Structure formats: C-alpha cells, structure tokens
Amino acid sequence: MLDDDQVQLVAECSIFPGRLDEFKRLAQETIDAAKAGSKAIGYRWYFNRDETKCYIIEQHPDSASLIRHLEVVGIPLLKLLDVSKITRFEVFGSLGHMESAEKLLQKVATGFKITKLDWNPQNLDYWNGFVR
C-alpha cells in the first residue's frame, strides 16, 4: 500500500578517464544549483574508492519536486554528460502523471536535446516500510 508520496532516485555515473577534476567541478555546480532552486529533501553524491564512478542519491517530497529539481539542474547536468556517462538510473516511488522513470527521462532528454538514452531506467513502486 502506498502511503508515502516521497520519491527517491539513485543514479550511477561512470567518469571518463582523465576527467575527474572537471567532473567534480561540474558536480559542485550541479549541487549549488540544486541547493538554491530545488525542493529536494536530500541530495548526496558518493564516489567509489578509485573515483571512477559517482553515485547520486536524491530524496524528494513528491514527484513534482523531482521534476522541478531536474529543471533546475538541467544545464549543469548537460555539462556533466560531457565528462561522464549515466550507467544506472532508478526511481523509487510514484512519479504521478509521469508514470515511469523511462517517461521522466524521455521528458528530460527531449527538453535538453539529448538524442540517445543508453541506460535502462527503472521505476520501483513503494510497498511498505518506514523512515524514522
């Protein structure tokens, strides 16, 4: 039973060789944009030990917040895609009228003129549990 409108997103980026410093600079731009204009509850970035992959975990109060967030970080996100590739994209929770992570990504891709999405988005519906 869905009793929670919150939406969480997990994305994995593979950083192109020799582009780590640029990736970190652009990631900071993205974080700054999100902090200033997004209603995200949580927005955390993690690196694996050799810093070849970055994992982004977002938490939003609802699907409208996630969509607004993607609009806010759009330009920095496009720049990040010049130095990395998204290899995983999972959305946890209801996307409301967007219906699926794939449709959400298509909307983002169209808005930012990304012609090819080569990762497999997943949308997982909330079943049960709690957050303290």
Rounded Cα distance, 108 and 132, in Å: 32
- Tell me if 132 is assigned to some domain: no
pLDDT mean for each 10 residues of the chain (132 residues)? 70 94 96 92 94 94 84 85 86 65 59 49 63 64
The pLDDT of residue 104: 62
Rounded Cα distance, 86 and 109, in Å: 12
Number of domains the chain is built from: 1
- Tell me if 49 is assigned to some domain: yes
- Tell me if 84 is assigned to some domain: yes
- As given in the structure block, the two tokens for residue 19 are 């582009």
- Tell me if 64 is assigned to some domain: yes
* pTM of this structure: 0.78
- Tell me if 16 is assigned to some domain: yes
> Which domain covers residue 31, as residue numbers?
7-124
> Which CATH number covers residue 71?
3.30.70.100
- Tell me if 41 is assigned to some domain: yes
How does DSSP classify residue 41? S
